[in-house]
Amino acid sequence: MPINDTSKALLSHNGLNSQLLSSADSFDNKNQYNSYLSSSSYYQTSNAKITTATSKNYSSTTGYGLVNAAAAVAKAVGRNTFANVPNSGGNNWGADLVNAPEAWNNGYTGKGVVVAVIDTGVDYNHEDLKNNIWTNTKEIAGNGIDDDGNGYVDDVRGWNFVNNNNNTLDQNGHGTHVSGTIAGEKNSYGVTGIAYNAKIMPVKVLNESGSGSYNAIANGIYYAVNNGANVINLSLGGNFSNRTLQNAVEYANSKGVVVVMAAGNDGGSQPNYPARYANNTGIAVGAVDRNNNLANFSNRSGTNELAYVTAPGVDVYSTVPNNQYASYSGTSMATPHVAGVVALMLSANRSLTPTQVRQIITETAGNNTQAATASYQTDSINTSSIVKSAIALSSYQISTTNFSVDHHSVSEITSPAKLTNQTTATNSATNLQFHYYNDNIGIKSYNSTDEETPSDSPNNGNNGNLGKFLERLDQLQKQLEEYRRFLGFSNGKS
């Protein structure tokens, strides 16, 4: 039976790495990627007109728009298009939105393609996944010997780079959910994956709380490439670039492996890393809802042109451990839709290079999530006055010159566990931790190591005078967002 929608999960019931919390209540005067509300303003005179930056159908908001499996696969085999077929309906609305059934109807189902899910692991015993799990046929299970000489002992179902062993089972749920979207079996129950005959290679680089290091992720990429993956799904990311990770992504590209990367859930003007590497390598993915509206949590494509497309990422139904199902939201959920489309393309034409895949994906995407121009009549709106109002109504004294507010970002869902204190420096070049992207829990967060009984300190999350200030600021920010939607600055999430 399906479990309840995890979007109703409470943050206090989910174990999170404290320095990875990213919420509307997070302050960091060193993070250059945060938005500075104290100095921002929106002003338009009457009958003004806004134009979204575009280049060859490229938008600074939605990139090249919604991925189109029918058009992409058709182009991969030298055809103009495929005939429309009836929608699958129900929980497979995401496949319908990206026109996957049209590709299926022409015999392209991902057969013969291996997609590495570099994530929290995979429940490879799940009834909807077990027949589509990659196995290392060169390895003899359980003999304690590295039979194929690849440096990993008994890696029959991938490798665990968190604990350095062959146990790739998912103790979180995230990687299993991603896998179902890619290759859930086409049967009479559950969910049908975009490439339902592809194979999933489990590569575990994130722990049960959904976090991991640059090195683990990079090693996971090398492992996937060197052991036969054709596509890599990276539903994870962080705020900072890292050469080790970038080298791994470029290595995959050089070996003919297509890397598909989540844009991130900060509601920012450009993707996080590694998705920002899509200026040269791989594909970045933003999230839309079932009406093809860009999710307000999704990072935008940015003015620097990337291979950025959108895909379903709001209330996506898929597999979770122990033969269950759940609906998650996030760019983590959008990314496997595109990885699945790439698998369909490669099952249709195995000679495609990563460059050709990027070109076809972007050329066939339909940029319909936001009009290029919009006209309206309005007065000025100045967010600096809103911030001043919040400060005036709060007894907590704080200078607007020494802090920043990450007002679009959301926290990440993880498996039930206590929040544990972490000491890893967040500015470390090699140990900066990455985490997966989805948007299923409230934005409120505490900095205490015990979410159940946070201390009543002005510096602790939503408590004390700072908490009162933040709550007021959050209310005003919601009002501002309504103005922005009215003026066409952003799309809301249904």
Task: Please list the active-site residues.
Answer: 119, 174, 332
Structure tokens of 66? 């919604």
Q: How far is the C-alpha of 161 from the C-alpha of 321, rounded, in Å? A: 20
What is each CA distance from 238 to 33, 152, 175, 203, 241, in whole angstroms? 11, 28, 17, 19, 8
Task: Return the number of other C-beta atoms located less than 10 Å from residue 3's C-beta.
Answer: 12
Evaluate the CA torsion angle 397, 403, 406, 411 in order and state its sign: negative
Structure tokens of 114? 């291996």
DSSP class per residue in 16-62:
--GGG---TT-B-TT-TTSB-GGG--B---TTEEEE--EETTEETTT
Q: How far is the C-alpha of 425 from the C-alpha of 430, rounded, in Å? A: 10
Task: Return the number of other C-beta atoms located less than 10 Å from residue 152's C-beta.
Answer: 21
What is each CA distance from 211 to 204, 224, 421, 433, in whole angstroms? 11, 19, 13, 6
Long-range contacts, stretch 52-55, CB < 8 angstroms, 24+ apart: 52/370, 52/371, 52/372, 52/373, 53/303, 54/372, 55/305
